[in-house]
Structures are given as structure tokens and as C-alpha cells.
Amino acid sequence: MIERTNNDVDVLYYYYDRHPTEEDLMGESRPHRALVEYLKQVLEWLFHNQPCAVYETFNFFQTSDEDEYPLAPDVALIKGVTDSPNISWRVGLDGPAPHVVFEIASPKTWTRDLQEKPVAYAAMGVQEYYAYDPYKIPLPLSRRKGGRLFGWYLDGRTGQMRTVPHQIDGSLWSPHLESYLKPDGALLRLYDARRNLRLTKAEAMADKLRSLGIDPDQLI
């Protein structure tokens, strides 16, 4: 649906701007929710000194078809963004496709995350895609594939996703994040090139206080 604003600017509202997707109706498990929030906080602090947007389950569209079904990654990072829409993101109109996206496993979506999403994100122009299974007992598909962390990068020559090779310790290197991604049970940790843990803002502030001889746990 197209509506005109007070500034006489036509704004396209997609059906799924106002209605839940199938994924919305599924809900989230505690491990899923906790990891999404953790990754969002780590990425926000990692890029806090430069223009960047980090979105959580935000709808991304690619056409002007108001009935288009969106892609809504659990976490999406777009570099160079200062202003962003409030409802959804139209790739090519509001800005570029996300540079990096994450999908966190759920029993009902994991097969699609691993088998269909790489193709879908490649078509959108996403540069890097990572999928992680945070459950204490990995899902059956994860066990069959021999791991819980999976990654792809966009091949600029072919326009297709290629798998990111695992390091000896099971981590994956992300060029856009300049970080190693490493499984840690229910969490997916990020480390810099020297293998220093990437922190959230709260963790970084607590480390700063400790360096000053202040115990952050004693602060009210």
C-alpha cells in the first residue's frame, strides 16, 4: 500500500510491515533470544566509532511488490548507515543489502537456514552469512553436518555464496567484522585477529573500571 506523507512523499508499506510473518508466529526459545541479544550488543560496541546499523529481526525487501515476503535475519549489520527507516528496509532504496547477517537455529527453521537462506541472501547481495546452533544438544541437522557453526561469503565473480572454511579450532574468520567467530556452547564469541575477545559495551566498561582498581560488582 502506498501512502503520502505530510511532505507529499510517497511511502510504500508492505503487507508484512503490518502483519506477522511465519517466523514471527513461531516465537523464540531462551537460547535463541539470549544469543541474538548478545550478538547485537557485541556488534554495536565493535562499530560504535563508525557509521553502522545493527538490526534485530528486521524485515528486508527487494522489490516494490507490497506482497513480497521479507527476509528477516536474526541479526543484520549494515556499514556506513547513519539514518535508517523505522518499519522495514528496502534494499537499494534505503541503502545497501546487509554486509553481515546471522541466523540462530530453531527446530522449525534450521533446515531452511542452512539450505535455502544462502541462496536467498546471495540474491539480496549480502556479503557474509553465518548460522549458529546454540542448543546444548545440537539439532539433528547440525549433528549430521558435523558442527554447529556454518558460514558463507558472497563470491563477487559468480554472485553465489561460497562456504567459509573452518580454522583448526573450529572458528570462522569474518573479513567484514575483522573477527574470528568461535562456538562457545550457547554463545557465539567474536575475537580479534590476536584472539582477544570482542566485548559488549557493558563488559568493556567493567574492564575499564577493573583497570582503575574499581570492582564494578561493588557499584550500585
Please give the Cα distance from 29 to 132 (Å, whole number): 14
| SS3 of residue 26 by DSSP | helix
Least confident of 111-115, 144-148, 215-219: 215-219
Q: What is the tens place of the pLDDT at every residue in 11-32?
A: 788 999 999 999 888 888 888 9
Question: Alpha helix locations (H) across 11-147?
Answer: 15-18, 22-26, 30-46, 110-115, 117-124, 140-145
Helix (H) and strand (E) counts in the chain: 7, 13
Q: What is the tens place of the pLDDT at every residue in 85-96?
A: 778 999 999 999
pTM reported for the whole predicted model? 0.92
Q: What is the tens place of the pLDDT at every residue in 42-55?
A: 999 999 999 999 99
Question: Does domain 2-218 correspond to CATH entry 3.90.1570?
Answer: yes
Return the percent helix, strand and coil in the chain, to nearest 5: 25, 25, 45
- Residue 28 has a pLDDT of 85
